[in-house]
Amino acid sequence: MKKFIIYTIIAIFAFSCSIKSKSYYMLEGTKKIVQTHKLPYSIGIKKITLPRYFNQNTLAIKEGENRVVFIDNATWISDMDEQLTSVLIDFLKRYFNTTNIYLYPWEGGKKIKKIVNLKINSFIYDGQYVNLDATWEIIGKTNPQAKFFKTRIESKNSPDDIIKAMNKAFGELQIQIARSLQ
């Protein structure tokens, strides 16, 4: 019986040491808004298109020219296309001090004057920088033209630092989109 208790304690200890904790992350972009701007019309935001490496739902980093690896213990809290779309909508509501910003076309019955269609081409850490490369267009604007955005934010190698840099990069993109809607 004594051996059984000792083996049980050893097994419990070994099992508890082998449990790996997982960190869950979300992107919030920028929360800083110096002043709000008037927006006399409603805006629809299409679901953001992301690179395929976001389908894994774990943090991807670029190692080398053509290699992407996933950090097993750094998981996104929800689907990134939905998360970033929601973050952009919330930011624009605060930026323009209005509730007339909607997910398009799923919130029916709303008269939308302009629609933002955002595609993120690359959003990844490369060992030194978080790189964000995106294009968007505003449909409903006279002569809609594609807008281009590219930024590099320096970051350390830990998932926490990478997420902070990603938040900063996405925050810069949010501000550019808001300014193009004015």
The pair of structure tokens assigned to 33 is 């808004």
| pLDDT at residue 26, as a whole number | 76
Kindly state the average pLDDT of the residues 32-43: 79
Q: Give DSSP secondary structure letters for 91-155.
A: HHHHHHT-S-EEETTTSTT---SEEEEEEEEEEEE-SSEEEEEEEEEEETBSS---EEEEEEEE-
Domain boundaries, the chain: 24-181
| pLDDT at residue 7, as a whole number | 46
pTM: 0.82
Kindly state the average pLDDT of the residues 94-108: 84
- Nearest CA-CA partner of 75 in 140, 139, 145, 21: 21
pLDDT in tens, 61-79: 998 888 989 988 888 889 9
Residues 6 or more apart whose Cβ sits within 8 Å of residue 80: 27, 50, 54, 57
Fold of 24-181: Rossmann fold (3.40.50)
| Type of residue found at 98 | T
Residues 6 or more apart whose Cβ sits within 8 Å of residue 96: 36, 37, 38, 39, 178, 181
The pair of structure tokens assigned to 141 is 């604007």
Whether residue 103 contacts residue 45, with contact meaning beta carbons closer than 8 Å, is answered with yes
Q: Is the pLDDT of residue 168 over 70?
A: yes
Q: Is the pLDDT of residue 95 over 90?
A: yes
Average pLDDT for the chain: 85
